[in-house]
């Protein structure tokens, strides 16, 4: 997801990428795919200037709405890194 985040940002389309992943998260029926899409949106925001707070919020949302999900350890690691920045 971080690689795709860099692609969106490289094209100057970070916000479009965030919107796309958030729409995908709403559309997916599978919980793992929903969490992955939320995390991908947060990944884009974490790399974007001024996006830190929104990224932290999305990572936290993924953890609280979907506890014990497949992506939990990776999300916790990324969240910790952002909070400690």
**Model confidence pLDDT, tens digit, residues 12-58:** 888 888 988 999 899 999 999 999 999 999 999 998 889 999 999 99
At residue 50, the 3 state secondary structure works out as coil
Please say if the pLDDT value at position 1 is more than 60.
Answer: no
Residue 54 burial (C-beta neighbours within 10 Å; 0-12, 13-18, 19+): middle
Confidence of residue 2 (pLDDT cuts 50, 70, 90): low
Phi, psi of 72 (to 5 degrees): -55, -50
Specify the pTM: 0.87
Instruction: Inform me whether the pLDDT recorded for 65 exceeds 60.
Output: yes
**What is d(CA 9, CA 75) in angstroms, rounded to the nearest whole number?**
20
The pLDDT of residue 85 is above 90: no
d(CA 78, CA 85): 11
């Amino acid at each position: 997801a971080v690689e795709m985040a860099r692609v969106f940002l490289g094209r100057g389309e970070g916000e479009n990428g965030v919107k796309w992943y958030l729409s995908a998260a709403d559309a997916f029926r599978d919980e793992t795919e929903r969490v992955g899409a939320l995390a991908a949106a947060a990944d884009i925001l974490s790399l974007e200037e001024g996006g830190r707070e929104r990224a932290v919020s999305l990572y936290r949302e993924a953890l609280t709405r979907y506890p014990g999900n497949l992506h939990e350890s990776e999300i916790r690691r990324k969240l910790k890194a952002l909070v400690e920045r």
